[in-house]
Structure 1
Amino acid sequence: MSKTSGHGERTLDVSNVGQEVWLVKVPKFIRESWSANSGDHEVGRLRVVKHPGQRAPTITFSMNEALVAANKLPREHKFISHDIKQCLGVFSLPKSATEGAQKLEGGPADGAAGQYNISFEGQVVRKYECQPVMDDNYLKLKLETKRAAATPARQAIAIERPANVYKPKSFHPHKVAQERQKESEGKKAREDKDKVLEVLFNAFEKHQYYNIKDLQKITRQPIMTVAGLVACVRGLWLDWSPVSDDWLAWSPVSDDSG
């Protein structure tokens, strides 16, 4: 794998490369019931019946009676075969990050058999679709599904008492405080250029860098005036060429003969 790739290198376990796997598409209610059920209980039984003279066997699936009674789900299901038009494989990851860390840390030092976090479970040789057989539970389930889909997510309800409605405000407290501060400070009158420069020089003696808005507050002058003065002063210093290293290293020699 390239070092510039965004994914890290991983070792793949191919011990089950010769195993054949079925790819089965199950309904949503079966998937939800299996996800809610722990792995210690039986979820159903699969029956494969081979008929003489027929290539494809008849496959049926019967859900566990406890799951059917608890969730009112259809019990009997049939498998419908589909053609596989592409090469498919099944890969698996550890059940949790802890299990993956144990596999990575528990392997041998040479990184051969124990250090992996992705496994190849086998190649898909059959593709089926699990469809429930129509019974009373299936019809009730479809009816409830249609009702839930037709129910709007948002509904209009009648309120018993009027809700508190707040009128919009044109002047908020922070804006009123700003206006009062402007009135107390008064209008910004333009000062003499030399006085403003003196204030700027005093400010730059304290700190080296300023924002133009901070300089405006310090000088109490319009921002364009302050920006123009700063540009003029900055332009004078930029025109000066730096002293060469030869002049910096030179020191006058005292004349002892005189």
Structure 2
Amino acid sequence: MSQPQASGSSEGRERGDRAPTTTAVKVDLSMVNRGIWLVKVPKYLAARWEKIPGDVEAGKLKIYKTGADAAPRVTLSLSDATMCLKEPGENDIPREHSLIAGPVVHQTLAAFDHVTGISDALVQEPDKVSILGKVHQKLECRPPSDVGYMLMKKEEIRKASQPVRSVQQLDRVVNNYKPVADHKNNIEYEERKKAEGKKAREDKDKVLEMLFAAFEKHQYYNVKDLVKITNQPIGYLKEVLKEVCNYCVKNPHKNMWELKPEYRHYKQDVDD
């Protein structure tokens, strides 16, 4: 028996697995009347079959006729190639399995193959979808309930119960990081503060002189710009600004300062 092919429901494939596309794909129905079996196998057997190359025998099916009216007995015998694909430290899996048949009632199950097409500048091949057959029989692959199988299940349960992380006792201090005296952004901030120097309050007349000189160049200023021009603490500067300036709360000069009308001496246009 060659490596088994997985089968599934055409209804489930249509709902969940089909890639969304706007192009209609033709389905090959040449084998739609072919009868196939849908077999449920244990996880350890499916994992072992995944390792087998496509041209290597995976096992053999044996069908025994038990009587004229009785259902035939089906067994699966794994090949030597399947039994040899064992990881180091892994227990042997059972060679012989029984296949218990069950009816397909009120369902239409089918298996199909989907080959993704090629789309590039040189080759244009659409997706190929073909029906492999219709499920006529559902079977369940069961291992024998012998001592070997029980030991294998016991080992699987023991491995699954082991925690992923374990506590280790250290005999020395482990430093996973290198401590630093200070961070780069803190150093840059301190250097910038030192370069600016401490803002000392100037005489009020001196501050007003700097403000009037600034407003001779521009009509509106942001408070941050005035702090840079006068080099005064922002709280003290706002106290002086409230005496000689108005704070704009409407656009287009919102959040800016302007001299009060009595302190302005702008040249106004004279109509001819």
Q: TM-score, normalised by structure 2?
A: 0.59
- Identity among equivalent positions (%) equals 29
Find 1:181's aligned residue among 178, 189, 192.
192
Superposition CA RMSD, Å: 4.0
Deviation per CA, 1:35-87: give whole Å up to 9, x if none: 11101211110012233333532111000134325532100001122333422
> Match for residue 174 of structure 2?
163
User: Alignment partner of 1:93: what SS?
Assistant: strand
> Match for residue 214 of structure 2?
195
The 3 A distance-change label for structure 1 pair 38 and 176 is same
CA contact (8 A) 1:27 1:131 kept: yes
> Match for residue 32 of structure 2?
17
Residue type matched to 1:91 in 2?
F
Find 2:154's aligned residue among 126, 139, 143.
143
* Larger relative helix fraction: 1
User: Alignment partner of 1:67: what SS?
Assistant: helix
Q: 1:1-258 maps to which residues of 2 (within 5 A)?
A: 6-9=20-23, 10-54=25-69, 56-71=71-86, 72-85=92-105, 86-94=107-115, 100-101=117-118, 116-164=127-175, 172-186=183-197, 192=211, 195=214, 198=217, 220=228, 232-233=251-252
Cα distance in 1 for partners of 2:177, 2:36 equals 64
User: Alignment partner of 1:139: what SS?
Assistant: helix
Cα distance in 1 for partners of 2:175, 2:181 equals 19
User: Alignment partner of 2:171: what SS?
Assistant: coil
Q: 1:160 offset after TM fit, Å?
A: 3.1
Residue type matched to 1:89 in 2?
A
> Match for residue 240 of structure 1?
none
Cα distance in 2 for partners of 1:197, 1:122 equals 91
Q: TM-score, normalised by structure 1?
A: 0.62
Residue type matched to 1:93 in 2?
H
Cα distance in 1 for partners of 2:212, 2:141 equals 88
Residue type matched to 2:59 in 1?
G
Unaligned runs of 5+ in 1: 108-114, 202-211, 236-258
User: Alignment partner of 1:192: what SS?
Assistant: helix
> Match for residue 241 of structure 1?
none
Does 1 or 2 have the higher relative contact order (CA < 8 Å, sep 6+)?
Answer: 1
Residue type matched to 2:164 in 1?
A
Q: 1:89 offset after TM fit, Å?
A: 1.5
Unaligned runs of 5+ in 2: 1-18, 87-91, 202-206, 239-246, 255-272
Report how many residues are paired: 203
